[in-house]
Amino acid sequence: MDEKMRNEIALFRYGLIAEVVSRELQKGEQAQRFRDIASKKHVTPYGEKQTVSKRTLERYLHLYRNGGFEALKPTRRGGYAARAISQEILDKATILKQERPERSVQQIIRMMELAEWVKPGSISESTLSKQLRKRGITRKKLSKSSSSRSFRRFEFPHRNACWQGDVQHTLYLPDPTNPDKKRVAKLFAFIDDYSRYIVHGQFHFQEKGAQLEDCLFKAIMRCGKPEQIYVDNGSIYRAKSLEITCAKLGIKLSHSTAGRPQGRGKIERFFQFVDTSFKPEAYDLIETGRISSIEELNRYFYIWTQSIYHERTHGETKQTPIQRWEECEHPTISISFTDLQQAFYWEEERRVDKTGCISFQGNKYEVDQELVGEKITIRFDPHDLEHIEVWFNGKQMNNAKTLNLSRAQHEKATYPDEVVLGEKSGLNFLELSEPQYEKKQKKKRGTLSYQTLMEDKTI
């Protein structure tokens, strides 16, 4: 069995236990969830349908809690399974019930089957009913809230329970490689569902997996680990490297259905506010030469986020995002830089040649002679190709020795240089916000600074 299939199997096993791993459950909930999953047939990575016993699920959970993602990789053939009701389907069922509280669970399931959101017979009434009750989505409670003309949109119970992530094509900057042309600056952002706090946001010219992972890395460094991230269905969100990273960190990765972005409304509304508040002022600074690079754009965006967006009272929560975040008593889970860096490593397979060397990204490396002729897995920080881990049959070997380094970063992780235009003057909202932000920062201690957060780092 090759490493790719071992990863696939481990991902399916993790998907099965993801909800149990990523959040705290009440007494008896774990056993009930495992019973629900064990009662169904699941499609394995080999395309077969099979059931997985409750005892096997408990074994997977034990393996993960004691050995992490690596422990879920099989050493020989076994059973593989997928999770029960996905987060996005549960969100859709919640919306259907909120729209019409009188709808029965049976009717909601039938509607989702007719809309081809789920396969016929894939969801049991008892499981969905229990999940909706746990969320407080019952006819009695919804009828009370609907009498006040509107009810609040669903939100998670505490900070870091779920982050919504997305990318916005925000504005144009002159192309750093050709100043006569313009290029789209794309905003990557993650918002905390409970507090509406922006855990991290950053502009890039490229829209690839490396930029997404860079944003997520910085968000976790700054705000701790989320239980779940909820993202679009695009290719960068389906990247195997992102799935493996989330599995290693114990984060549930959920996707919205293609063409139906319901459930990601909070990040969409944040982007709307970016369009009306930040974007016009940023364009003013670009046109007058006071933003001359994407680094400066990011600096002003960070200041705007901290001093304007986070200090603005939210219409639904009646609190500012920073108040709601800081007043939440639910503890954040920090991860050391080294452990986080390891979780974000990329990996590829290479065949060792007869001289005991491998070629990778135009570079040449030497590995242990005992690996000559073998197919090995290399793990690496895409921003630092001088240091390469070597794995063989699930065991870590000595690191590869660099013989010739012609490329220091992976081609998919390099960011182009960026520059913008020239001179004028005037009053600007973002510039006026900067001194107030700096004053506030001097009063705070123990927070991660913009300079520390944005400086070159390795993921």
> Residues 11-65: pLDDT tens digits?
888 888 887 887 777 768 888 888 888 888 877 776 777 788 888 888 888 888 8
- Residue 134 predicted with pLDDT over 90: no
φ, ψ (nearest 5 deg) of residue 359: -110, 140
What is the rounded distance in angstroms from the CA atom of residue 429 to the CA atom of residue 434?
Answer: 9
Q: What is the pLDDT of residue 452?
A: 53
Tell me the two tokens of residue 37: 């999953």
What is the average pLDDT score of the chain? 83
Which residues have a Cβ under 8 Å from the Cβ of 37 and sit 6 or more positions away? 16, 52, 57, 81, 83, 84
Alpha helices in 115-191 (DSSP H): 125-134, 139-146
Tell me the two tokens of residue 458: 């390795």
What is the rounded distance in angstroms from the CA atom of residue 408 to the CA atom of residue 422?
Answer: 33
What is the rounded distance in angstroms from the CA atom of residue 20 to the CA atom of residue 252?
Answer: 10
Which of 98-107, 329-338, 352-361 has the least mean pLDDT? 98-107
- Residue 438 predicted with pLDDT over 60: no
Which of 174-188, 248-262, 420-434, 438-452 has the least mean pLDDT? 420-434
Domains along the chain with CATH numbers: 3-71 (no CATH), 87-146 (no CATH), 163-332+427-454 (3.30.420.10), 345-404 (2.30.30)
> What is the per-residue pLDDT across 292-328, written as a single tens digit (0 to 9) for each?
789 999 999 999 999 899 999 988 889 999 999 999 9
Q: What is the pLDDT of residue 52?
A: 81
Q: What is the pLDDT of residue 413?
A: 78
Q: What is the pLDDT of residue 260?
A: 55
pTM attached to this predicted model: 0.68
Q: Which of 155, 138, 62, 156 is nearest to 101 (CA)?
A: 138
Convert the chain into a string of H (helix), E (strand) and C (coil). CCHHHHHHHHHHHHHHHHHHHHCCCCCCHHHHHHHHHHCCCEECCCCCEECCCHHHHHHHHHHHHHHHHHHCCCCCCCCCCCCCCCHHHHHHHHHHHHHCCCCCHHHHHHHHHHCCCCCCCCCCHHHHHHHHHHCCCCHHHHHHHHCCCCCCCCCCCCCCCCEEEEEEEEEEEEECCEEEEEEEEEEEEEEECCCCCEEEEEEECCCCHHHHHHHHHHHHHHHCCCCEEEECCCHHHCCHHHHHHHHHHCCEEEECECCECCCCHHHHHHHHHHHHHHHHHHHHHHHCCCCCCHHHHHHHHHHHHHHHHCCCCCCCCCCCHHHHHHHCCCCCCCCCHHHHHHHCCEEEEEECCCCCEEEECCEEEECCHHHCCCEEEEEEECCEEEEEEEEECCEECCCCEEEECCCCCCCCCCCCCCCCCCCCCCCCHHHHHHHHHHHHHHHCCCCCCHHHHHCCCCC
Q: What is the pLDDT of residue 27?
A: 66
What is the rounded distance in angstroms from the CA atom of residue 125 to the CA atom of residue 236?
Answer: 34
Strands 228-231 and 252-255, bridge-based pairing: parallel
Sheet order of strands, 363-366 included: 357-360, 363-366, 401-404
> What is the per-residue pLDDT across 225-277, written as a single tens digit (0 to 9) for each?
999 999 988 889 999 999 999 999 999 999 887 655 556 789 999 999 999 99
What is the rounded distance in angstroms from the CA atom of residue 245 to the CA atom of residue 78?
Answer: 23
Q: What is the pLDDT of residue 419?
A: 36
> What is the per-residue pLDDT across 180-191, written as a single tens digit (0 to 9) for each?
888 999 999 999
Q: What is the pLDDT of residue 219?
A: 96
- Residue 376 predicted with pLDDT over 60: yes
What does the buried/exposed string (b/e) look like for 58-75 if buried means 16 or more CB atoms within 10 Å of the residue's CB?
eebbebbeeebbeebbee
Q: What is the pLDDT of residue 383?
A: 87
Unique residue bearing structure tokens 């293609």: 258
Q: Which of 415, 452, 449, 25 is nearest to 206 (CA)?
A: 415
> What is the per-residue pLDDT across 74-130, written as a single tens digit (0 to 9) for each?
764 333 333 468 888 888 888 888 877 877 888 788 778 777 788 877 888 888 888
Q: What is the pLDDT of residue 420?
A: 34
Task: Name the more confident of 263 and 353.
Answer: 353
What is the rounded distance in angstroms from the CA atom of residue 4 to the CA atom of residue 209?
Answer: 19
What is the rounded distance in angstroms from the CA atom of residue 364 to the CA atom of residue 359?
Answer: 5
Q: What is the pLDDT of residue 444?
A: 53
Half-sphere exposure for 145 (CA within 13 Å, toward CB): 17
Q: What is the pLDDT of residue 421?
A: 33
Q: What is the pLDDT of residue 217?
A: 96
Q: What is the pLDDT of residue 175?
A: 82
